[in-house]
Structure 1
Amino acid sequence: LGDELPSVSTEIHKAVESERNLCRLRHPNIVRFLHIAQPEPATVVVFMELLDGRSLERFIDKPLDELTIRDFSEQPPVIHRDINCSNIIVCADNTRIKLIDFGLSIKLEQSVSHMSASTQAPKGTLNFMAPELLGAGESDSVQYSRESDIWAFGCSVFQMASGARPFRGNQSVYQVALKIANSGAPALPDGRSAELRDFYSRCTAKDRRQRKAARELLEHEFLRKNL
């Protein structure tokens, strides 16, 4: 009402445009956004694909075998900003996965600060946040990027391989940042192949510039070899 109307209208417009961007996504491992409607000025309705399955986190009741880890290792073409096993759905056939929950996602050509202007805290899931988003060795100007998604994907690989979230038991940004600064990403459990260990290390390099791009990871021996 009154003076608030322009700012509210701007926020609604941003929300609608964001959802329209998601409706343009076409990828076999991304949940489909089918249609967006605006029946009233302040009401936005999004129609999405109905998925029959469960989250990868619930699917992992014990460490997964390497064939399953390989089959689930896909990287979608967006900056998602909250990749974790709760935001990956294992479809009912137990062979396909789809990435969901794009509340923090952006188009690739956009850049956004990793700090919220209102909360001054990093967004996303703590256990899966890259070092640069936690202030572990990088400046506050570092932004969300493909590299931060690669780190989060690597943390998802860790959970598939170990059966537990990385940095379990650390409850604060400071604790996780300190653990990463001192020790880097947690080590995979014993018994995992050299190929998986190398694949994981390429996703979780502390220096984001040393992490491999998704296209390079898809060519890695771990994903190409016969298990």
Structure 2
Amino acid sequence: LPVQLGDELPAVSTEIQRAVESERNLCRLRHPNILRFLHIAQPEPATVVVFMELLDGRSLERFIDNKPLDEPKIRDFSEQICRALLYLHSRQPPVIHRDINCSNIIVCADNTRIKLIGFGLSIKLESVSHISASTQSPKGTLNFIAPELLGAVESDSVQYSRESDIWAFGCSVFEMVSGLRPFANVGSFIEMTQLIDRKGAPALRTAELRDFYSRCTAKDCRRRRPAVELLEHEFLTDRKLKKGFLSSLFGARK
């Protein structure tokens, strides 16, 4: 922790305890699709050591490698991500990840299981206006930030919520389908903000997946569906393989 020689410990003890408690909260998470935080130790007042599960695999972004995934893989990974979000968002108080994106999702070595990582920005949402959930500038990965966090709608401060996580999940679905991050060709933060404000999320051409995707990426956050409802959507519940679903559009790999 950033404690300098000569600092009065009482002056920084509150910040230290806040950091320790933040990591301790992560140690309480138990879900098969979430990285395990195993133990926290504080050998010195300004030193916190966190022991985490060792994962053998690669990020979903590297797994995609600029090439669309096939439908069964998109369906399977989407369901697993949804289940992880349902677990986080159902905690009391809810845990908001704040940085869902394909580089913070690990595809394990068996190429079938995924794990959500990257909890450096996660928060416990005590209420919508909780001080740690509201900041003057958005945090996270730019291409995956919800419009209400970009200032595309009027707000006094940035309001993180379950719905902002759901938007980012939808953007991750977009990358699995297209092989590219949303707004990959947009050159600046201002241009992206203006584009989202005018048009919302980038469009998908696939009818069945478009409905699922639209429920994640409604520009009005009140219209986005929670993870529990997304898990009941026909895209995730219909296990029949539909030939040519993505391959005809993107040449999706097997």
| Closer, same or farther: CA 170–114 of 1 in aligned 2, 3 Å | farther
Q: Separation in 1 of the partners of 2:70 and 2:160? A: 31
Give the unaligned 5+ runs of structure 1. Answer: none
- 1:106 partnered with 2:123: yes
Selected match of 1:198 from 198, 205, 211: 211
Per-residue CA shift, 1:28-76, capped at 9, x if unaligned?
1100000000011100000000000000000002101111111011232
Q: Separation in 2 of the partners of 1:19 and 1:57? A: 26
What's the offset of the Cα at 1:141? 3.1
Using structure 2 for the length normalisation, give the TM-score: 0.82
Give the unaligned 5+ runs of structure 2. Answer: 89-94, 242-254
**Equivalent residue for 1:91?**
108
Q: Tell me the secondary structure at the aligned position of residue 38 of structure 2.
A: strand
Contact 1:114 1:142 in 2 (8 A): yes
Selected match of 1:23 from 14, 24, 27: 27
- 1:70 partnered with 2:75: yes
**Equivalent residue for 2:138?**
122
What's the offset of the Cα at 1:114? 4.1
Q: Separation in 1 of the partners of 2:139 and 2:32? A: 26
- 1:167 partnered with 2:172: no
- 1:36 partnered with 2:64: no
Selected match of 1:141 from 157, 164, 168: 157
What is the count of residue pairs matched by the alignment? 220
Contact 2:169 2:216 in 1 (8 A): yes
| Closer, same or farther: CA 181–48 of 1 in aligned 2, 3 Å | same
What's the offset of the Cα at 1:126? 0.4
Using structure 1 for the length normalisation, give the TM-score: 0.92
Contact 2:137 2:158 in 1 (8 A): no
**Equivalent residue for 2:251?**
none
What's the offset of the Cα at 1:143? 1.1
Counterpart residue identity of residue 186, structure 1: P
Of structures 1 and 2, the one scoring higher in RCO (CA 8 A, sep 6+) is 2
Contact 2:125 2:133 in 1 (8 A): no
Q: Separation in 2 of the partners of 1:175 and 1:6? A: 45
Q: Separation in 1 of the partners of 2:177 and 2:121? A: 26
Q: Tell me the secondary structure at the aligned position of residue 103 of structure 1.
A: helix
- 1:221 partnered with 2:234: yes
Paired-residue identity, %: 79
Contact 2:58 2:106 in 1 (8 A): yes
Larger helix share, 1 or 2:
2
Q: Separation in 2 of the partners of 1:150 and 1:4? A: 42
| Closer, same or farther: CA 11–171 of 1 in aligned 2, 3 Å | farther
C-alpha RMSD of matched pairs (Å): 1.6
| Closer, same or farther: CA 14–211 of 1 in aligned 2, 3 Å | same
